[in-house]
Amino acid sequence: MFDGIDLKNLNLNDMMKQVQDMAETSKEDNAKRVFTSKAGGGMIEISINGNSEVIDLQIDESLLDDKDSLQILLISCMNDVIKQSDENKKMMAMNMMGGLGSFGQK
């Protein structure tokens, strides 16, 4: 992600600007990613983008008369799809840090 950046010749302000630009690019890229989860054998399906914004929700009509089951399945499905998005964010952050060379290492 930091390809082409000469870290040795950057001052701190330039480096911070580069990091901010890359973070903005990552946010835009994340908005294009889609994560989907299903629960109850596909009776509930939720899709979110990489910024954890819900972009689609499908509910089987048979669940509309069973509030308890609907709530349980929605919670399960939401937790799963949010976990997918969070894992993606962690991976992207690790990739950004790895691109910083020795600056991003412990």
Report, in this order, helix, strand and coil percent for the chain, each rounded to 5.
60, 15, 20
Burial (Cβ within 10 Å: 0-12, 13-18, ≥19) of residue 77:
buried
Count the helices and strands in the chain (H runs, E runs). 2, 3
Q: Is residue 42 a part of any domain in this protein?
A: yes
E strands, the chain, where?
34-39, 44-49, 54-59
Q: Is residue 62 a part of any domain in this protein?
A: yes
Q: How far apart are CA 61 and CA 66, in angstroms?
A: 10
* Residue 44 belongs to domain with CATH number: 3.30.1310.10
Q: Is residue 105 a part of any domain in this protein?
A: no
Tokens found for residue 27: 């946010």
pLDDT tens digit string along 13-68? 877 887 788 788 877 888 889 999 999 999 999 999 988 899 999 999 999 999 99
Q: Is residue 3 a part of any domain in this protein?
A: no
Q: Is residue 9 a part of any domain in this protein?
A: no
pLDDT given at position 4: 56
CA angle 88-92-98, nearest 5°?
A: 145
Q: How far apart are CA 76 and CA 49, in angstroms?
A: 18
The domain total for the chain is 1
Q: Is the pTM of this model over 0.75?
A: no
